[in-house]
Amino acid sequence: MTEDETDLIDVAPGAPHNNIMSEVVSYVVGLGLALLLTGISFWVASTSVLWGPGIATGLVVLAIAQMGVHLVFFLHITSGPDNTNNVLALAFGVLIVFLVMIGTIWIMSHMNANMGVSPELMNLQMQH
């Protein structure tokens, strides 16, 4: 292999690239993986290969893998020391999203329990 050919494959995903061809190869690999994971997700959802209740778990696993591909190949999030701010910003964003999701689920579940008609009121209505 020549030195130019090694430069194309000797760069970690998400790391800065030496030349434009290396960057294009990285984006094409990321696109291929994203399309593959999307296709597998549609296939899993439309066939009966997985056990019925396991389909949701399989789709969650594929979604997490899809997020990983996007973070590494397209957003260039790596574990290098120069990416600390990016990783912290991503972690803060994930924290906020989970807080909003958990808060919404908590509010909706308690609203359902607290908005119903009380048994005492039902008994009063039944007596009249």
Q: Structure tokens of 98?
A: 């989970």
Nearest-10 crossing angle of helices 54-69, 20-46 = 170
Here the tokens at position 69 are 């591909």
Query: Residue 84: pLDDT above 60?
Result: yes
Handedness of CA 104, 64, 74, 45 (dihedral sign): negative
Distances in whole angstroms, Cα of residue 30 to Cα of each of 50, 76, 101, 126, 128? 26, 11, 29, 64, 69
- Give the global pTM: 0.63
Q: What is the pLDDT of residue 85?
A: 85
Per-residue pLDDT at 37 exceeds 80: yes
Residue 123 has pLDDT above 90, yes or no: no
| Measured distance CA(33)–CA(29) in Å, rounded | 6
Q: Which of 23-32, 37-46, 62-71, 112-121 has the lowest mean pLDDT?
A: 112-121
Work out the average pLDDT over 29-43: 95
* Calpha distance 55→102 (Å, rounded): 23
- Is the pLDDT assigned to residue 7 strictly greater than 90? no
The answer on pLDDT for 18 being more than 80 is no
pLDDT above 60 for 26 = yes
Average pLDDT score over the chain: 83
Give the per-residue SS3 of 27-54. HHHHHHHHHHHHHHHHHHHHCCCCCCCH
pLDDT tens for 39-77 read 999 999 998 888 888 899 999 999 999 999 998 888 888
